[in-house]
Chains A and B, each alone.
Chain A
Amino acid sequence: MIGNFFASIGAFVLGLVEAFFAGLSIAGRTFRGVFHPRGRARGEVLHQMYQIGNRSLLFVTVTLGALGMVLVFQVCLQINKITGDQSQVGPEFIRGMVHAFVPILTAMMLATRVGAGIAAELGSMTVTEQVDALRMTGVDPVDYLIVPRFLASMMMTVVLGVYATVIVVLAGALMAHTAFDVNYAVFFVFEKVTWGDLGVGLTKLVVHGGAIPIVSGYCGLSTTGGSEGVGTATTRAVINSSLTVIILDFVISAIGLMTVQSGV
């Protein structure tokens, strides 16, 4: 009984270690594939940019627009109860969005939409032997399938992040103005945003954008079984991508605070 318990814990830990190193290996092959492309489909990066970027526009607009409104409404409501001075809402809101909220929220949304899509597509290719067929013709599945998604996701996460910042700030300003009579000129003050904030925000977008296809791609390529396996891989991709984004966000924030960013 106790032996079985320790055996199952050991198997779980070994599985985690194995998955970690397999994921690292895919990350390494992906970075190598960026600089040494071998047999990648022509136009695939553009196609993936459309799939990842354009197809996420509505999702990002609606979610972050609504979130910006709710956040500003709640902050203004609480400030009204204490001092009533709304002059700092806009500048602090913009700064917080640029270096903290928008990168992680955009990445989390992409982890669910794009991560699930990548894992489902690659998982279904794995169980239908299409990945084996690629290997038979001398094509590295990581180079052919993950690298274009990696490049496209990195670029489009930055684009979507910039777009999302605009949307969330506009939505917040609209809410502050209509519900609490905050003047637009008072809200749109960008002086608090430093180059360090911009750098940290952009770094997070690039890193998160790159991590999602690697983690999801690994989940897809390690799919076993049939359609049930594809479902499991998709769920794993969303959870693992989200966790990876959270961990990376924490690390980059900590490094940013210790180096380029001014105090909170």
Chain B
Amino acid sequence: MIRCASLSLTLSHRPVLHELSWDLAAGSVWGIIGPPASGKSVLVKTLCGLFTPQRGTLHVDGVEMTRLPEPARVDVRRKMGMLFQNNALFDFLRVWENVAFPLARQDPELSREELAARAGERLRAVGLAGSEEKWPSELSGGMKKRVGIARATICNAPVLIYDEPTAGLDPVTTSKIYDLLTDLRTRHASTVIAISSDIPALRRFVENVLFLHQGRVLYRGPEAGLEACEDPVVYQFIRGLGEGPL
């Protein structure tokens, strides 16, 4: 589904991704973990074509993204839904309008009533029935995440990307969010990429893990194999040790 080879990206004269290669099979569920500022969010944005790497190739569903001009990337992005780290809800739109936004762009023929109905349906699925007319500023952190998830999944895109779906949330809400993501994943058989600092919760959700550190891949493989990884950074990070190279 997604294949990147020797991907390198420099932002503001600072190298962020180094020679990164990664294959994601359709329907697979990947977690990206790593210390702060290791390039996790930049990597997923690069996969969406929001950043253009200086070197390497990136194929999404067979289409080479890196040389595509911005307007041509739109068709590839339609195959992806993304929950942003800061939720990125449009503060000038009501909750239902936020959720319906990608749908309205994908199918301009849909009427306002149809869009509202579809958005309402999706909001019910994430447990936010009755919040349609609220503004994003009126929502709590957990509710914003749910709206973000509803927006990311409303088009039933084959690739779903969740950047910190549970950051700043309490354990109960975290558990509910992961239940929701699991439910969505099971229903639509999507390829899923999730970034989270909550390593135990993420590891319960994903099948495979990519460990990034300073833009380099230190581990790539099944979640179960992470414990056996001998890299000192990975060892320290997944065990939460104070002593070590980090």
Contacts and interface: CB of A to CB of B under 8 A. Distances in A.
Interface string B79-97: 0101011101111000000
B90 A136 contact: no
Interface stretch (A125-133, A182-190, A235-243, A247-255): A125-133
B12 A224 contact: yes
Contacts of A130: 88-91
Given A39-B105, A224-B12, A136 B91 contact: no
Nearest to B71: A140
Given A136-B50, A136-B77, A136-B80, A128 B88 contact: yes
B150 interface: no
A177 interface: no
Interface in A106-137: 128-130, 132-137
A3 interface: no
A129 B74 CA distance: 17
B101 A129 contact: no
A263 interface: no
Interface in B86-129: 86, 88-91, 101-102, 105-106, 108
A136 B48 contact: yes
A133 B12 contact: no
Interface in B49-93: 50, 70-71, 74, 77-78, 80, 82, 84-86, 88-91
A153 to B, nearest CB: 18
Contact of A129 (B12, B85, B108): B85
Contacts of B102: 136-137
Contacts of B50: 132, 135-136
Contact of A132 (B84, B91, B101): B84
A39 B85 CA distance: 25
In the complex, which of the residues B80, B84, B88 has the most CB atoms of chain A within 10 Å of its own CB atom? B88
A137 B84 contact: no
B45 interface: yes
A128 B48 CA distance: 17
Interface string A132-162: 1111111110000000000000000000000
Nearest to A133: B88
A130 to B, nearest CB: 5
Contacts of A39: 105, 108
Contacts of A136: 48, 50, 77, 80, 82, 102
A133 B136 CA distance: 15
A39 B48 CA distance: 20
B158 to A, nearest CB: 14
A101 to B, nearest CB: 36
A138 B77 contact: yes
Contacts of A135: 50, 70, 77
Contacts of B101: 137
Nearest to B11: A224
A39 B89 CA distance: 18
A54 to B, nearest CB: 18
Nearest to A130: B88
B105 A133 contact: no
Nearest to B49: A135
Nearest to B51: A132
Contacts of A128: 86, 88
Interface string A190-223: 0000000000000000000000000000000000
Nearest to B81: A136
Contact of B105 (A129, A139, A224): A139
Contacts of B45: 132
Nearest to B161: A136
Nearest to B80: A136
Interface string A58-77: 00000000000000000000
B88 A129 contact: yes
A132 B152 CA distance: 13
Interface of B: 12, 45, 48, 50, 70-71, 74, 77-78, 80, 82, 84-86, 88-91, 101-102, 105-106, 108
Given A130-B89, A132-B45, A137-B105, 9 more contacts: A128-B88, A129-B86, A133-B90, A135-B50, A137-B77, A137-B101, A137-B106, A138-B105, A138-B106
Interface of A: 39, 128-130, 132-140, 224
26 contacts: A39-B108, A128-B86, A128-B88, A129-B84, A129-B86, A129-B88, A130-B88, A130-B89, A130-B90, A132-B45, A132-B50, A132-B84, A132-B88, A133-B82, A133-B84, A133-B88, A133-B90, A134-B90, A135-B70, A136-B48, A136-B77, A137-B77, A137-B105, A138-B74, A138-B105, A140-B70
Give the 3 A-B CB pairs with smallest separation, nearest first: A138-B74, A129-B88, A133-B88
